[in-house]
């Protein structure tokens, strides 16, 4: 996996302080591509939903739920994946090739049904390795379990005696253990789709509920089970609708996380970067049992990636 060494001044501010420094030109470019692929993304999502929910995915408004948060298949789930921040809890060593990354973590089951399309053609893209990581129901990341999810990141660094200037995402080693829960990767199949089962994430200080994702078009599985991956074509974060999140967070064990108040999408800085970036990184969801999200969630999303992209997109850090 390839990480550019970018000074913390740049990345941390992208994480925490001024993430909205994406250039206007780049925003326009992504919006245009996202718009162009919208019909393809909509029909791609619909076909997948139809497969899981025979008879329900064919029209926009037939999905009946107790509470119709997303009663429509979202057209705008074509994620124009920019190179958004990986965040401080990226830890490639703990990523495992598997289709169920829950490892018994308590909480509500989540099945992520992810489609990938090539933004140049709007066609499904097979054999793209998708790499996911997120926190557990009470906000902890595996491999970093000794770091409190309730302490703001800069304070954590201070406690660890690490100067802010010396911290580089993906380089500075903050890991505290070798646990691997809620980290996994799996490739898209022949028709550009993959599924990953996990446990619905909770939240940690300052961030709305999200799942990190990276896409690789160039990767190799070794005999010893490890994966080496080259071309990072996208790094992003995926989100959930606020109404469903509020419902799920009221249920144990999520509700036991009372030490901090949850940051919602509307006040999360990084979420707004995504929106401004011309894409909608919010899962379309249906209750897995057709009835109640408390029993499990299926999330559909289509990511648009540019296979010719490579590594860090510096335009993310340009000033307007
Ligand atoms: C979704 O996209 C389809 C196909 O482009 C279009 O016919 C439909 O009106 C769109 N629906 C919404 C809700 O935007
Ligand atoms: C969706 O609806 C169209 C038009 O009614 C029909 O031709 C098509 O067979 C349906 N597709 C599925 C998968 O049911
Ligand atoms: C989340 O992980 C932390 C660290 O391993 C653990 O203490 C906590 O109990 C976990 N949360 C739940 C709900 O199991
Ligand atoms: C697995 O195999 C790859 C390729 O031969 C090698 O680079 C890597 O170090 C091996 N990893 C382990 C943990 O043995
Ligand atoms: C959460 O927000 C409420 C309302 O603003 C406030 O009264 C409460 O003290 C906050 N709780 C924590 C743990 O910050």
pLDDT digit string (tens) for 159-201? 999 998 888 877 889 999 999 999 998 888 888 888 899 999 9
pLDDT digits (tens, 9 = 90+) for 216-269: 888 887 766 567 776 777 778 888 999 999 999 999 999 999 999 999 988 887
Residue nearest to atom 3 of ligand 5 (CA): 261
In the structure, what pLDDT confidence band is assigned to residue 205 with cuts at 50, 70 and 90?
A: very high
Query: Does 222 contact ligand 4 (Cβ within 6 A)?
Result: yes
- Ligand 5 atom at minimum distance from 259 CA: 13
- What is the percentage of the chain residues whose pLDDT exceeds 70? 69
Query: Does 140 contact ligand 3 (Cβ within 6 A)?
Result: yes
Tell me whether residue 264 is in a domain. yes
Please state, in angstroms and rounded to a whole number, the distance separating the CA atoms of residues 32 and 317: 20
Q: Can you give the pLDDT at residue 110? A: 95
pLDDT over threshold 50, residue 56: no
Tell me whether residue 147 is in a domain. yes
- Ligand 2 atom at minimum distance from 55 CA: 14
Q: Are 229 and 235 in contact (CB under 8 A)?
A: no
Q: Can you give the pLDDT at residue 98? A: 87
Ligand 2: which residues within 6 Å by Cβ?
50, 58
Strands 129-133 and 183-187: antiparallel
Residue 42 or residue 6, greater confidence: 42
Tell me whether residue 154 is in a domain. yes
pLDDT over threshold 50, residue 320: no
Q: Which residues, other chains included, contact 264 with Cβ-Cβ below 8 Å and sequence gap of 6+?
A: 208, 242, 245
By mean pLDDT, which of 48-52, 85-89, 281-285 is the weakest? 48-52
Query: Does 106 contact ligand 3 (Cβ within 6 A)?
Result: yes
Nearest ligand by distance to the CA of 139? 3
Please state, in angstroms and rounded to a whole number, the distance separating the CA atoms of residues 58 and 47: 7
Residue nearest to atom 1 of ligand 5 (CA): 261
Backbone angles phi, psi at 250, to 5 degrees: -85, -5
Tell me whether residue 51 is in a domain. no
Tell me whether residue 18 is in a domain. yes
Q: Can you give the pLDDT at residue 29? A: 67
Residue 76 or residue 227, greater confidence: 227
pLDDT over threshold 60, residue 309: yes
CATH code of residue 69: 2.60.130.10
Single out the residue of 169, 153, 233 nearest to residue 5, CA to CA.
Answer: 169
pLDDT over threshold 60, residue 62: no
- What is the percentage of the chain residues whose pLDDT exceeds 90? 32
Q: Can you give the pLDDT at residue 61? A: 31
Containing domain of residue 85, as a range? 3-44+64-319
Our count of domains for the chain comes to 1
Q: Can you give the pLDDT at residue 162? A: 92
Ligand 5 centre and the CA of 263: distance in Å? 11
- Ligand 5 atom at minimum distance from 260 CA: 13
Q: Can you give the pLDDT at residue 12? A: 36
Q: Are 164 and 125 in contact (CB under 8 A)?
A: no
Query: Does 225 contact ligand 4 (Cβ within 6 A)?
Result: no
Tell me whether residue 49 is in a domain. no
Pocket perturbation via mutation, ligand 3, pick of 134, 138, 199 by most ligand atoms within 8 A of CB: 138
- Ligand 4 atom at minimum distance from 225 CA: 1
Single out the residue of 131, 115, 124 nearest to residue 233, CA to CA.
Answer: 131
* Alpha-carbon torsion angle 300, 97, 249, 20, nearest 10: -70
Write out the two tokens for 178: 């070798």
Residue nearest to atom 3 of ligand 3 (CA): 140
Q: Can you give the pLDDT at residue 274? A: 57
**What radius of gyration do the chain's Cα atoms show?**
18
Write out the two tokens for 273: 């970067």
Q: What does the mean pLDDT of the chain come to?
A: 76
Instruction: Please name the residue that has the structure tokens 């070798």.
Output: 178
User: What does the chain come to in residues?
Assistant: 320
Tell me whether residue 104 is in a domain. yes
By mean pLDDT, which of 7-21, 186-200, 300-314 is the weakest? 7-21
Tell me whether residue 94 is in a domain. yes
Ligand 1 centre and the CA of 39: distance in Å? 7
């Amino acid at each position: 996996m390839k990480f550019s060494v970018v000074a913390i001044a740049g990345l941390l501010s992208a994480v925490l302080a001024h993430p909205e420094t994406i250039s206007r030109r780049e925003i326009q470019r992504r919006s245009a591509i996202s718009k162009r692929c919208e019909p393809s993304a909509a029909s791609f999502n619909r076909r997948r939903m139809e497969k899981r929910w025979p008879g329900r995915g064919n029209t926009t408004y037939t999905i009946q739920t107790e509470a119709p948060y997303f009663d429509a298949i979202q057209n705008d789930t074509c994620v124009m994946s920019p190179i958004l921040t990986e965040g401080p809890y990226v830890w490639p060593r703990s990523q495992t090739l598997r289709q169920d990354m829950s490892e018994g973590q308590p909480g509500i089951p989540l099945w992520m049904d992810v489609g990938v399309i090539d933004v140049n053609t709007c066609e499904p893209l097979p054999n793209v390795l998708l790499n996911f990581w997120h926190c557990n129901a009470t906000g902890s990341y595996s491999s970093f379990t000794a770091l409190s999810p309730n302490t703001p990141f800069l304070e954590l660094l201070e406690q660890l005696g690490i100067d802010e200037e010396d911290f580089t995402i993906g380089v500075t080693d903050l890991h505290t253990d070798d646990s691997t829960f809620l980290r996994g990767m799996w490739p898209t199949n022949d028709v550009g789709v993959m599924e990953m089962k996990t446990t619905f994430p909770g939240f940690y200080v300052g961030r709305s509920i999200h799942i990190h994702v990276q896409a690789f078009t160039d990767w190799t599985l070794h005999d010893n089970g490890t994966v080496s991956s080259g071309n990072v074509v996208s790094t992003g974060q995926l989100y959930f609708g606020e109404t469903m999140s509020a419902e799920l967070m009221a249920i144990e064990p999520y509700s036991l996380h009372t030490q901090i108040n949850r940051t919602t999408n509307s006040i999360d800085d990084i979420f707004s970067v995504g929106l401004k970036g011309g894409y909608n990184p919010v899962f379309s969801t249906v209750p897995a049992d057709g009835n109640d999200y408390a029993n499990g969630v299926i999330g559909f999303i289509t990511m648009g990636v540019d296979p010719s992209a490579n590594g860090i997109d510096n335009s993310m850090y340009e000033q307007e």
